[in-house]
Amino acid sequence: MKKTSTRLADGRELIYYDLRDDTVRDAVDRRPLDPTVTTSEVRRDPLLGDAVAIASHRQGRTYHPPADECPLCPTRGERLSEIPDSSYDAVVFENRFPSLAGDSGRCEVVCFTSDHDASFADLTPEQARLVLEAWSDRTSELSHLPSVEQVFCFENRGAEIGVTLGHPHGQIYAYPFTTPRTALMLRSLAAHKEATGGQNLFDAVLERELAGERVVLAGEHWVAFVPYAAHWPYEVHLYPRRRVPDLPALDEAARTEFPQIYLELLRRFDRIFGDKEPPTPYIAAWHQAPFGTLEGFDGVTRDDFALHLELFTIRRTSGKLKFLAGSESGMSVFINDVPPERAAERLREVASS
């Protein structure tokens, strides 16, 4: 992998990740851009104890542009975009309309391929491995920023999810706090460790799932399963068998096997509802340990946390979506119409061709 860092016309950082070491990246952003102006602010909810990012400048962000005006496609001729070069393997750049900025964190865009009509599932194993390396590199780099406490790499796919740019891409959020969902995991981790005399909750969960009926895919270094208490109709958790706190900590064996397992999982997601349905909308979310000493979670260290990916779709059956109604939105109590055991069975049935 070759990494080349440059700057866009308004000063934002852009980084090329290339498969070939001899690739030269010297294209200049020719757009007449003014410096970006952000108004991001993080506010704490005194009752719930969580955080809300207030980012009014995002109202003017790009919204469903036609394919020939996509800002994530490479620059070609006088068609100028966020990526100055005429082609790329993978690229990461600072979001022009970030939810978090400055002392409130940082937001980046990750473009998986220059092919506008592709998806992550269409990548070759070599390309998927390159994206994994980009995620790992950005996690490591962002961890050194003084305002960053946790890094979240994720992909939203599909208009049903709220995606406004059709080009295959994901995002990276660098938060100045530990996210509420991670805090819940850390509290459960601490309670289990105390109750069992030091045993790890993530290890116990993985051991139980491996012995059960909800495993979808199992490799030498990765395991994908539908969790016992899945929140979403089709939800799969992907764990490395060797517990590590974050992406940079993965060893070479796990990195090598990852593309095979993850690409197969995504292709099965696209086949759940049959070939006549549009591509399955999904969210793919990497959960990584926060940085630092994890104050407030007695007895828990970063090494107790288990890196894992949670992949889920909001489509519950052919032509129907799972909406967050009163119980889910009002009280955070999910109601799942698809038994996790049946979801796992279906995902085993639809092995990609």
Q: What is the 3-state secondary structure (H, E, C) of 63-118?
A: CCCCHHHCCCCECECCECCCECCCCCCEEEEECCCCCCCHHHCEEEEEECCCCCCC
Contact 297, 191 (CB under 8 A): no
Type of residue found at 348: R
* Token couple for 96: 């022009």
* Token couple for 258: 């990852």
Coil/strand/helix, residue 39: coil
Where are the alpha helices (H) located in 211-293, listed in sequence order? 252-269
Residues with Cβ within 8 Å of residue 339, at least 6 apart in sequence: none
Where are the alpha helices (H) located in the chain, listed in sequence order? 125-142, 180-195, 201-210, 252-269, 331, 340-349
57: annotated active-site residue: no
- Residue from 64, 144, 169, 308 carrying the catalytic annotation: 169
- Sign of the Cα pseudo-torsion (144, 148, 152, 156, in order): negative
Q: What angle do CA 209, 211, 216 make, to 5 degrees?
A: 55
Residues with Cβ within 8 Å of residue 331, at least 6 apart in sequence: none
User: Which residues are catalytically annotated?
Assistant: 169
